[in-house]
């Protein structure tokens, strides 16, 4: 029997439209976009759980997230499920013992995550951006006032100058003006040339120094350091938006204070008692020696569990007051043992006294990961308020 | 010298027709592995975009990389049928695949479920699905990705909830119902016409507004598309596009054992009889065959699932041996997996295949229960009813527009997973735009109503 051939042959090459893009990859990217947004909605938890202060200064945070599940109606898991299998067994045989995971031939991939985890890489800049949106804060403005820099800036035009500062647009304009009056004149003359002119002017300072001081006496636990560290990190990232140059100084203290570099700072472990004034004095001396308050915006953050020698009260208060008069903002983060007694401590009292004198001083209690988020929020709100005031 | 797939393909086709197979033309296309993988994820070569496919794609990609799955072919019924072969396959593998595809093509031309589905959905599902994809891409362009996604979240979550037996094209319910007259049926009418039993002419009652729906409605996609209070035209179209694809998928799902078995039977038989294939190439091809239809991984004593290729293959062999080819052709035309397993999976065959029933406890223990044939058939078929989805129906639309769903937990034997079901109700709520509630039962069998928005 004659019949038209079914087997039209294997087409290829002429129809490789599917090579142009991958639908799977497209939908996968869309999934990731949704995850990103879900993460953003839960930023506090993410911030708190992510180890944002990894050793390297990469500008991203890696956050482990679960895949989104597109839900369907499904029966609840039963205590016992019946199924059909195939193989050389007899009734009563135990194919798996309690507690043992079942083999991988249980159905197809489906919604089973199969141990795959998505590591979402978030840009720290994006997180800070979200943070700003969430707080509904205006972008911080560089403040003008006490802190000033002298620098050259462009201002006006001159008829003479070096070639690199020639303003072609402006020069052409001059040429057109001249030729409007004298249509037969040459295209360009030396008289047409205009050069950008630089002058020395006072400008608002765009640099800042942030002091992080921390009590590393034996009463500070690892958890306390971790909380303080997370807080410090986000504060720096927030301030980076404001200043072109940001310098960081790390100071740890027990009864004495030392300056450390960043990598060592969070590892430092001291023993013995706590004399806060030692740290404050070192901050004050460092400012005097290296950071002219006329040219730097100064920030101090001090982390402690709130304990301090009673005898140190006056010295600590006095040196803190001195710093507060120079600084744009002073923050105190306390990691109290219990939430109830938060900020109701010896050190807390010192900061409160100075704050009550009208200085830009804020105090924050860090008890849980979530409270870090609250503290960051509170800091930026107060900071903006202090700027405005 | 080895033949090419073209020459083998044509010869295999002639052989298939000589053996009595009958099929629409099939367009074959060789495609890269990546394409095969996407088809496995989407079920269709070009399908509407949705993020959930992205998740499945990644799992598939990982599995593929780890060598868990290898896809030899995909075939789409229709006139012409479409089949895709993996470019990476050897000529021997693809010769077998062509034979296999022709088995599928014969099956889908003759099987009643496939025939009806194709009459309703159409004979060019690949192009139709691509059309849906374009339509949805255009909707995204016009209404924004978020809004379209909202519709797809709901529609795709209800993908399994169609009523295949009521058909794709359905009229809306009548708006009014006549008062039910008891003497509607002819026997009563004749009874009343007996002498001496005059009865007053039936009075015409005023028309009564029909309750919505008239009976519990299982086709949730249809019901929502038709009756959602505020659904816009383009949103309804998306619902109907998803529903149409579900109607296409239904026979594929409901005849999987028969269909894969039939295709495997025929590829084995056609290869055996293909004297134009040199001996060494035949051995390579038949090796591929035994990989596909083996009951379970060779290094395992037993498997907790049944390979539908193997089960179907063995059942067809036994049917053809015992009942003859004519009867087999009739079965492939008339049955689906439910009839097939109930009628033709005999106790002897089940024993020969070493099928068993097991009990898996949620502490991880798995115990072999028995080999009783009826229970075994139930266990094989249980996950196959209506795409394996729970039995959920629309009970009523209340006066305030609340959509009242009911889970027929008696049929399913237990209640729903609350967390996921609530999420689905959330998807629905964004489309129905009135409250949505669902009756089911909790772990102790006590009634429980899930609501969105929560009260």
Annotate B97-166 with DSSP letters as a single string. HHHHHHHHHHHHHH-HHHHHHHHHH-S-HHHHHHHHHHHHHHHHHHH-HHHHHHHHHHHHHTTT---TTT
Give the DSSP H or E segment for B412.
helix B409-412
| CA distance linking residue A190 with residue A180, whole number of Å | 17
Q: For residue A78, give how far its alpha carbon lies from the nearest alpha carbon of chain B (Å).
A: 7
Q: For residue A7, give how far its alpha carbon lies from the nearest alpha carbon of chain B (Å).
A: 6
Over its length of 455 residues, how does chain B's per-residue pLDDT go in tens digits? 456 778 888 899 999 999 999 999 999 888 888 888 888 899 998 899 999 999 999 888 887 776 655 667 889 999 999 999 888 788 888 888 899 999 999 999 999 999 999 999 999 999 999 999 999 999 999 999 999 999 999 999 999 999 998 999 999 998 887 655 555 667 766 766 777 666 655 555 567 778 889 899 999 999 999 999 999 999 999 999 999 999 999 999 999 999 999 999 999 999 999 888 888 888 888 888 887 778 776 666 788 889 999 999 999 999 999 999 999 999 999 999 999 999 999 999 999 999 999 999 888 889 999 999 999 999 999 988 889 899 999 999 999 999 999 999 998 889 999 999 999 999 999 999 999 999 999 999 999 999 999 87
Query: What is the token pair recorded at A99?
Result: 């507690």
Give, to the nearest 10 degrees, the angle between helix A124-135 and helix A222-240.
Answer: 80
Angstrom CA distances, A14 to A11, B45, B130, stand at 7, 17, 18
Contact (Cβ atoms closer than 8 angstroms) between residue B354 and residue B303: no
**In terms of Cα–Cα distance, which of A229, A223, A208, A252 is closest to A376?**
A229
pLDDT at B439: 97
pLDDT at A220: 76
Burial class (CB in 10 A: 0-12, 13-18, 19+), A162: exposed
pLDDT at B238: 96
Helix (H, G, I), strand (E, B) or coil at A314: helix
Give the DSSP H or E segment for B235.
helix B233-254
pLDDT at B451: 95
User: E strands along A275-349, which residues?
Assistant: 297-304, 329-334
Q: Which residues of B touch A94 (CB under 8 A)?
A: 365-368
Indicate yes or no: CB of A9 within 8 angstroms of CB of B6.
yes
Angle at A81 between CA A70 and CA B248, to 5 degrees: 45
| CA distance linking residue A270 with residue A254, whole number of Å | 6
CA closest to B94 among chain A residues:
A10
Helix (H, G, I), strand (E, B) or coil at B222: helix
Query: Buried (b) or exposed (e) across A8-24, using 16+ Cβ within 10 A?
Result: bbbeeeeeeebeeebbb
pTM score: 0.72
Helix (H, G, I), strand (E, B) or coil at B85: strand
Contact (Cβ atoms closer than 8 angstroms) between residue B355 and residue B308: no
| Residues A51-55: contacts with CB under 8 Å, at least 24 apart | A52/A124, A52/A230, A52/A233, A52/A234, A53/A229, A53/A230, A53/A233, A53/A266, A55/A263
CA closest to A28 among chain B residues:
B54
CA closest to A80 among chain B residues:
B361
Indicate yes or no: CB of B54 within 8 angstroms of CB of A96.
no
| CA distance linking residue B340 with residue B251, whole number of Å | 14
Query: Buried (b) or exposed (e) across B389-401, using 16+ Cβ within 10 A?
Result: bbbbbbbebeeee
**What is the number of other CB atoms lying within 10 angstroms of the CB of residue A153?**
10
**In terms of Cα–Cα distance, which of B100, B96, B97 is closest to B85?**
B97
Q: For residue A36, give how far its alpha carbon lies from the nearest alpha carbon of chain B (Å).
A: 13
Radius of gyration of chain A (CA): 32
pLDDT at B374: 95
Q: Which residues of A touch B62 (CB under 8 A)?
A: 114, 116
**In terms of Cα–Cα distance, which of A370, A335, A333 is closest to A46?**
A370
| CA distance linking residue B316 with residue B340, whole number of Å | 10
Indicate yes or no: CB of A106 within 8 angstroms of CB of B161.
no
Pick from A12, A27, A32: CB nearest B49: A27
Pick from A12, A27, A99: CB nearest B57: A27
Specify which residues A204 forms β-bridges with.
A148
Whether the complex's predicted ipTM surpasses the cut of 0.95? no
Pick from A28, A70, A95: CB nearest B302: A95
Mention every residue, 6+ apart, whose C-beta is less than 8 A from residue A285. Answer: none
Interface test with A, best of B356, B375, B442 (most A CBs within 10 A): B356
**In terms of Cα–Cα distance, which of A47, A73, A161 is closest to B390?**
A73
Q: Which residues of A touch B389 (CB under 8 A)?
A: 72-73
| Residues B311-314: contacts with CB under 8 Å, at least 24 apart | B311/A86, B311/B257, B311/B261, B311/B345, B311/B353, B311/B355, B311/B380, B312/B257, B312/B258, B312/B259, B312/B260, B312/B261, B312/B262, B312/B264, B312/B265, B313/B260, B313/B261, B313/B264, B313/B265, B313/B268, B314/B261, B314/B349, B314/B352, B314/B353
Contact (Cβ atoms closer than 8 angstroms) between residue A304 and residue A220: yes
| Residue segments in chain A with a per-residue pLDDT below the cut of 70 | 1-21, 43-59, 99-117, 132-151, 202-205, 386-389
């Amino acid at each position: 029997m004659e019949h038209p051939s079914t087997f039209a042959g294997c087409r290829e090459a002429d129809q490789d439209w599917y090579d142009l893009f991958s639908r799977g990859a497209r939908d996968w990217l869309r999934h990731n976009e949704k995850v990103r947004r879900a993460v953003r909605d839960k930023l506090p938890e993410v911030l708190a759980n992510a180890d944002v202060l990894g050793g390297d200064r990469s500008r991203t945070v890696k956050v482990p997230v679960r895949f989104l599940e597109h839900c369907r109606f499904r029966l609840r898991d039963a205590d016992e499920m019946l199924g059909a299998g195939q193989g050389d067994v007899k009734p009563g045989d135990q194919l798996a013992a309690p507690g043992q995971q079942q083999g991988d031939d249980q159905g197809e991939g489906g919604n089973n995550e199969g141990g795959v985890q998505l590591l979402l890489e978030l840009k720290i800049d994006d997180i800070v951006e979200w943070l700003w949106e969430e707080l509904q804060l205006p972008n911080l403005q560089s403040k003008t006032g006490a802190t000033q820099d002298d620098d050259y800036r462009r201002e006006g035009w001159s008829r003479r100058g070096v070639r690199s500062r020639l303003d072609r647009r402006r020069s052409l304009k001059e040429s057109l003006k001249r030729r409007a009056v004298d249509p037969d004149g040459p295209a360009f003359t030396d008289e047409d040339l205009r050069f950008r002119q630089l002058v020395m002017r006072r400008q608002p300072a765009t640099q800042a120094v942030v002091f992080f001081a921390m009590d590393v006496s034996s009463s500070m636990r690892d958890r306390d350091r971790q909380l303080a560290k997370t807080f410090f990190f986000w504060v720096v990232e927030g301030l980076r938006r404001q200043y072109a140059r940001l310098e960081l100084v790390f100071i740890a203290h027990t009864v004495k204070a030392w300056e450390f570099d960043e990598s060592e700072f969070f590892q430092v472990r001291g023993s013995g008692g706590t004399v806060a004034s030692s740290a404050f004095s070192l901050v004050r001396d460092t400012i005097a020696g290296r950071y002219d308050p006329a040219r730097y915006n100064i920030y101090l953050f001090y982390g402690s569990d709130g304990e301090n020698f009673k005898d140190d009260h006056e010295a600590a208060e006095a040196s803190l007051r001195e710093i507060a008069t120079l600084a744009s903002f002073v923050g105190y983060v306390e990691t109290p043992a219990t939430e109830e007694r938060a900020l109701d401590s010896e050190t807390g009292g010192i900061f409160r006294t100075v704050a009550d004198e009208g200085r830009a001083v804020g105090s924050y209690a860090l008890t849980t990961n979530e409270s870090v988020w609250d503290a960051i929020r509170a800091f930026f709100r107060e900071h903006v308020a202090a700027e405005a005031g | 010298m080895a033949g090419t797939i073209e020459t083998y393909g044509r010869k295999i086709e002639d052989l298939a027709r000589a053996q009595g197979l009958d099929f629409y033309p099939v367009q074959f296309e060789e495609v890269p592995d990546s394409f095969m993988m996407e088809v496995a994820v989407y079920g269709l070569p070009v399908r509407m975009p949705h993020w959930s496919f992205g998740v499945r794609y990644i799992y598939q990609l990982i599995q593929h990389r780890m060598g868990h799955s290898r896809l030899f072919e995909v075939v789409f019924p229709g006139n012409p049928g479409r089949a895709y072969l993996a470019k990476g396959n050897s000529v021997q593998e693809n010769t077998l695949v062509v034979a296999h595809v022709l088995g599928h093509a014969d099956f889908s031309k003759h099987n009643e479920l496939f025939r009806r589905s194709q009459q309703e959905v159409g004979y060019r599902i690949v192009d139709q699905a691509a059309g849906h994809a374009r339509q949805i891409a255009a909707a995204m362009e016009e209404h924004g990705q978020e809004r379209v996604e909202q519709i797809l979240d709901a529609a795709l979550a209800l993908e399994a909830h169609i009523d295949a037996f009521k058909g794709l094209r359905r009229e809306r319910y009548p708006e009014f119902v006549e008062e039910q007259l008891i003497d509607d049926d002819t026997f009563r009418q004749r009874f009343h016409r007996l002498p001496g039993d005059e009865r007053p002419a039936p009075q015409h009652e005023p028309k009564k507004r029909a309750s919505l729906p008239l009976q519990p409605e299982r086709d949730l996609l249809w019901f929502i598309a038709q009756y959602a209070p505020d659904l816009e035209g383009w949103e309804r179209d998306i619902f109907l596009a998803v529903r149409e694809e579900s109607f296409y998928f239904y026979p594929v799902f409901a005849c999987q054992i028969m269909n894969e078995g039939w295709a495997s039977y025929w590829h084995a038989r056609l290869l055996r009889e293909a004297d134009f294939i040199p001996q060494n190439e035949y051995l390579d091809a038949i090796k591929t065959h035994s990989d596909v239809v083996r009951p379970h991984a060779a290094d395992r004593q037993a498997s907790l699932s049944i390979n539908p290729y193997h089960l179907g293959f063995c059942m067809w062999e036994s049917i053809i041996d015992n009942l003859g080819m004519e009867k087999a052709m009739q079965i492939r035309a008339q049955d689906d997996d439910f009839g097939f397993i109930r009628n033709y999976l005999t106790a002897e065959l089940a024993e020969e295949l070493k099928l068993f029933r097991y009990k898996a406890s949620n502490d991880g223990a798995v115990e072999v229960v028995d080999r009783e044939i009826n229970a075994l058939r139930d266990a094989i078929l249980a996950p196959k009813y209506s795409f394996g989805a729970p039995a959920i129906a629309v009970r009523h639309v209340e006066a305030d527009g609340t959509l009242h769903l009911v889970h027929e937990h008696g049929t399913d034997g237990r209640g729903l997973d609350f967390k996921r079901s609530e999420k689905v109700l959330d998807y629905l709520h964004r489309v129905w735009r009135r409250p949505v509630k669902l009756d089911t039962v909790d772990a102790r069998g006590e009634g429980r109503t899930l609501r969105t928005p929560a009260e």
